[in-house]
Chain A
Amino acid sequence: QVQLVQSGAEVMQPGASVKVSCQASGYTFTDYYMHWVRQAPGQGLEWMGWINPNSAGTNYAQKFQGRVTMTRDTSISTAYIELNRLRSDDTAVYYCARDTGSSSGAPLYYFDSWGQGTLVTVSS
């Protein structure tokens, strides 16, 4: 079965960078787009962008452009999101979520499997 396992919680200082990982199993990692979605405490879901694990192509939400980088390591079936210049309002649970669309075509922008989430707390 498809599983997405994320790295553990992080506590970061304002202005720092954080990198969260998402290791996939149960399917061929390079066959499906991977998205990142975050959820601030008590708030709704916010889409951040996607990476095509096959080509390494990315598409970031305009809000995060210049501050976010999505990468992958196909040898260990793992996707990463790095967020720079952290602020207190970046405190959130960060989820990876698998797109149902094949990486050989366009993403379908809906997500059939999610990681367990990684809490990133930004505090001085």
Chain B
Amino acid sequence: QSVLTQPPSVSGAPGQRVTISCTGSSSNIGARHDVHWYQQLPGTAPKLLIYGNINRPSGVSARFSGSKSGTSASLAITGLQAEDEADYYCQSYDSSLSGSGVFGGGTKLTVL
């Protein structure tokens, strides 16, 4: 299983708001390491969506936002659109075991 825990799936109707949680531990998110989020459309490479907990790269819609508190982080998507249907992954750094990148197991977003 993954070091970071995400719900396997979430869904929402067009126009709605959904959130995806990402729970870690004291050696990653709880150790104040940043959380990043990626969107992966079917058959494509992941795309950076949020970095440094709350920051959007240039070109990413303001409908996507990130937050972090304690040992958890969340990705919120407002005004859901059909094109948002994808897999979403959280990612951080883990300071145990000589340091490593760690991912969540991924969340499949279905737009109803």
Contacts and interface: CB of A to CB of B under 8 A. Distances in A.
A46 B103 contact: yes
Contact of B103 (A45, A59, A100, A108): A45
Nearest to B1: A44
A47 B99 CA distance: 11
A114 B47 CA distance: 8
Given A45-B89, A45-B106, A109 B45 contact: no
Given A45-B46, A95-B45, A35 B101 contact: yes
A61 interface: yes
Interface of B: 2, 33-34, 36, 38, 45-48, 51-52, 57, 89, 91-93, 97-106
Interface of A: 35, 37, 44-47, 50, 59, 61-62, 95, 97, 100, 108-112, 114-117
